[in-house]
Structure 1
């Protein structure tokens, strides 16, 4: 995992219709497993994704009320459509991401 080096980079996909923001910390074992699951799920959905080490973004964590890691935000531009803390399975991730994509297509 590579952390985003500038705070502005954490917002780099906020202009995209639908995108993913994955927050982790490097010492979190669950984060490593979750990242792999997310990578597999995103092979299906093919969305822009930003992976950020949240140790470097305390203000972002406070603003978005992040309770723990790993965390996945499924976003439309700068709005959080869904927040996932428990990455139950790859199909679970694909299903939840796809719901937001399908909702976008209906709008």
Structure 2
């Protein structure tokens, strides 16, 4: 357990930045969906959010181990599911809820897995 806490402390800034990157790219993808494939403000916002996510991801890798941070990008699936439910009125199925729990558990275990 001590190694887990040490890993979280060591990679703390990188973890926060990579989670923000995941949230930003998921938001960008949602805005692309809202654009309907047309050139409009949603499409431009999508590119902006996705670009910010790419920059945050690049910066995050300076503040943590690649083997810890890169797998945390899978949290983007969780953020996309939540955004879809909140803004696109999509329904979460039982299977999706189970998958979200597994992704979060995996992300936590990987986030604390640095030696």
What TM-score do the two structures reach when normalised by structure 2?
A: 0.29
Q: Which structure dedicates a bigger proportion of its chain to helix? A: 2
Q: Which structure dedicates a bigger proportion of its chain to strand? A: 1
Q: Point out the structure with max Rg over C-alpha.
A: 2
What TM-score do the two structures reach when normalised by structure 1?
A: 0.30
